[in-house]
Structure 1
Amino acid sequence: MEQEFGINQRGDPATLFILQNERFIMAVTDYGATLVSWIDRKKNIDIVAGFDKVEDYIDHVAHFGSMIGRVANRIRNATFTLNGTKYYVSANKGANSLHGGWNGFDKLMFHGEENGSEVVFTARSPDGDEGYPGNLDIRITYTLDEEGIHIKSEGITDHATLFGVTNHSYFNLNGCGTIKDHEVTIFADAYAPNDESGTAVGTLIECQNTPFDFRQPKAIGTDFACGDEQISMNGGYDHHYAVSGSGLRDMAVCKANGLKFVTRSNLPGIHFYTGNFLNGAYTGHNGISYGRHERVCFEPEYYPNAINYEGFAQPILLAGEKSVQIIEYLLCDED
């Protein structure tokens, strides 16, 4: 089902696509290929932060539900070198580039088509877009089934470029209120510390015997007040985890309200963000305002700024090749 969703900043109409089955209702929009709403019909709650019209997405800076690209997370000093050429991308977060620049995928107008249990979004990011080389053709497919939401992102370019996406949905398994009591497991032995700008510094630290150890289930807020410099600097977790294994695999599990939420991906790691910078300024579905530590993000991704570091998988896409990056959000009743 399709609905009008308002007018974007360029005067184009936006569309909301709604899919449903016995367990879920999912709404996505062609503005930013964004996950707008995900309702668990059994609990009668919307577990995703979002807005009821596209105009609110234009004005906000939290990337609620949007697909992020060309590159998720930060690029230090907004520069990188690829095949001997230095590129300068948008510096939209201090000296760094964040989540694709001023007008990343979250501000891109996609063409959407509904096909049964799928919505397919396609767009082209032209050569030079936000400073990135190459014409990049993007295809993002949302599939809804009884297990949850499956997101497949495909990229093809005519010139070597970077392509490393994520989905930036904010979750709350209670529908609203604090997420500090959500119990989380992250299948990672090591995490990346950040510098003062929030950029991963290019190393990994073992999680064992640190507040970053979620290898066994732990309530999110357990160590918020532990005094760890990284947690204090960020007001919570806002860090990359190197997830064990390769290929499509479980990355994190979150439990609350009798629900079990699993994040799966074929990307190298995951960013764990606990809504530290939400301040109640945004009001979304059902009049709910989104406050600090009231949402949690699980963002599969490459290591932040990987293109400028050695020893990490890099989001390089060569001309004529296709990259397929998968993110799955699965929801069921807790065991």
Structure 2
Amino acid sequence: MKNDFGRNKKGEETSLFILENENFRLSLSDYGATIVSWIYKPKSLELVAGFDNAENYVNHTAHFGSMIGRVANRIKDAKFTLNCKEYHVTANKGGNSLHGGENGFDKRLFMGEETADNQIVFTALSEDGDEGYPGNLEVEIIYTLLEDGIRIDTSGTADADTLFGITNHSYFNLNGKGSVLGHVIEIPADVYAPNLEDGTADGTYVECAGTTFDFTEPKVLEKALDTDDAQVVMTQGFDHHFNIPGEGMRKMGSAQANGLKLVVRSDLPGVHFYTGNFLNGNYTGHNGVNYGRQERFCFEPEFYPNAINYEGLKQPILKANKKETQSIEYLLFEE
């Protein structure tokens, strides 16, 4: 099903695509290839933050449900070197570039097509020089509605070496609204990345064991946040990258509440865990719900933040004329 979703900043018409099965009703927009709504039908429960029209997405800065690229998270000082050439990308977060720049994938109008009863394909061309990145990058994002959740397969092909490291930026609450501090969180990571004052990961890893960052055993979020850890104090909660051991599709993290368990899987190197620290109640979305501080959380599978500027880390480099696919799954189970 395809419906009108309003107009973007340029006045272009946007659309809302709806996929549905016995368990879920999933609404997606071609504006930002965005997860607008994800309803768990047995509980009539809205699982994600979002708005009811494109105009509200144009005016918000929290990236609710959008696909993020060309590169997720920060690029420090908005510059990087690739093949001995320095590139300058858009600085939209202080002196750094965040989530693809001022007009990243979350602000792009994709072409959408329903290719199967349970599948929507979004495509776009990010032209050479877009936000400062090299190469014409063809992007394909395939959303598949599963019996137990959502799968997102994002492919990139470019005519020159470039950067390509996506994520999805959905904000979850398994209660539908209110605080997420009672959610039980698990992240199978032995190390996490500390942040600098500007929010950029500092290029190192720190052991989780013995710290409040240890989620290898399920832990109530409120308990984890009850700490004087300098990193948590500085970011007013969790806003950190965790390295997930292994390769291929594997568990990145999980959250439990309201008799439900959300499991996030991906083939990306790690996951950024964010506890909605900077939501301030300025946004009102589905069903009149106001999104306040720590009333949502994000699991964002991605490369190490600013990895392109750090040696020894897996970097989001896409070689010319080589197709690469990065995948994310959000799975939901009743406990």
TM-score normalised per structure 1: 0.99
**In the alignment, structure 1 residue 208 sits paired with structure 2 residue 209:** yes
Q: In 2, Cα distance between the equivalents of 1:145 and 1:104?
A: 27
RMSD value, Cα: 0.5
- Write the deviation string for residues 169-210 of structure 1: whole angstroms up to 9, x where unpaired: 000000000000100100100000000001000000000000
> SS state of the match for residue 57, structure 2?
helix
Q: Which residue of 2 aligns with 1:19?
A: 19
Please tell me the residue identity of whatever aligns with 1:295: R
Partner of 1:156: 157
Separation in 1, partners of 2:215, 2:71: 26
Match of 1:33 in 2: 33
The residue number in structure 1 matching 2:120 is: 119
Please report how far the alpha carbon of residue 147 of structure 1 lies from its aligned counterpart in structure 2 after TM superposition.
1.1
Q: CA deviation at 1:11?
A: 1.1
Aligned counterpart, 1:284 = 285
Q: Distance in 2 between matches of 1:186 and 1:244?
A: 11
Cα deviation per residue 1:21-49 (whole Å; 9 max; x = unaligned)?
00000000000000000000011110100
Aligned residue pairs: how many? 334
Partner of 2:169: 168
Distance in 2 separating the partners of 1:210 and 1:63? 30
Other-structure match for 2:187 = 186
What letter corresponds to residue 304 of structure 1 in structure 2? P
**Matches of 1:253 and 1:75 in 2, distance apart?**
27
Distance of 1:326 and 1:163 partners within structure 2? 13
Partner of 1:106: 106
Over residues 256-297 of structure 1, what are the superposed CA-to-partner deviations in whole Å (9 max), with x where a residue is unaligned? 000011000000000000000001000000000100000000
User: Equivalent residue of 2:70, what SS?
Assistant: coil
1:1-335, aligned counterparts within 5 Å?
1-115=1-115, 116-334=117-335
Instruction: Give, in whole Å, the separation in 1 of the partners of 2:195 and 2:286.
Output: 33
CA distance in 2, matches of 1:223, 1:39: 28
Three-state SS of the structure 2 residue aligned to 1:138 is: strand
C-alpha separation between the residues in 2 aligned to 1:225 and 1:251?
A: 23
**Given residue 15 of structure 2, which amino acid in structure 1 is its aligned partner?**
T
CA distance in 1, matches of 2:305, 2:227: 25
Residue 114 of structure 1 and its aligned partner are, at CA, apart by: 0.8
For 1:300, give the aligned amino acid.
Answer: P
Report the Cα distance in structure 2 between the residues aligned to 1:297 and 1:59, rounded to whole angstroms. 20
Q: 2: CA distance between counterparts of 1:321 and 1:221?
A: 44
The Cα of 1:221 is off from its aligned counterpart by: 1.7
* 2:222 aligned counterpart, secondary structure: helix
Tell me, what secondary structure is at the counterpart of 1:231?
Answer: helix
**For residue 228 of structure 1, what is the amino acid of its counterpart?**
D
Query: Aligned equivalents of 1:311 and 1:219: distance in 2?
Result: 33
What is the CA-CA distance between 1:223 and the residue it aligns to?
Answer: 2.8
Where structure 2 has 5 or more consecutive residues not aligned to the other structure, the ranges are none
In 2, Cα distance between the equivalents of 1:21 and 1:66? 22
Alignment partner of 1:188: what SS?
A: coil
Unpaired segments ≥5 residues, structure 1: none
Distance in structure 1 (CA, Å) of the matches to 2:255 and 2:3? 32
Rounded to whole Å, the distance in 2 between the matches of 1:246 and 1:61 is: 32
* Identity value in percent: 60
Letter aligned with residue 309 of structure 1: Y
Distance across 2 between alignment mates of 1:254 and 1:90: 34
State the SS of the aligned residue for 2:5: strand
- Between the aligned partners of 2:45 and 2:14, the Cα distance in structure 1 is 25
- CA-to-partner distance for each residue in 1:292-311, whole Å, 9 max, x for gaps? 00000000000000000011
Question: Amino acid of the residue matched to residue 30 of structure 2?
Answer: D
CA displacement, residues 228-279 of structure 1 (integer Å, 9 cap, x when unaligned): 1100111100000000111111111111000011000000000000000001
What is the CA distance between 1:225 and its match in structure 2?
3.1
Query: Letter of the aligned partner of 1:113 in structure 2?
Result: E
Task: In structure 1, give the amino acid aligned to 2:272.
Answer: H
Q: Deviations over 1:58-115 (max 9, x none)?
A: 0000000000000000000000000011000000000100000000000010000012
Q: Which stretches of structure 1, 4 residues or longer, exceed 6 Å deviation after superposition?
A: none
One-letter code of the match for 1:255?
Answer: Q
- In the alignment, the residues of structure 2 paired with residue 68 and residue 258 of structure 1 have an alpha-carbon distance, to the nearest angstrom, of 30
- TM score, norm. by length of structure 2: 0.99
SS in 1 for 2:122: strand
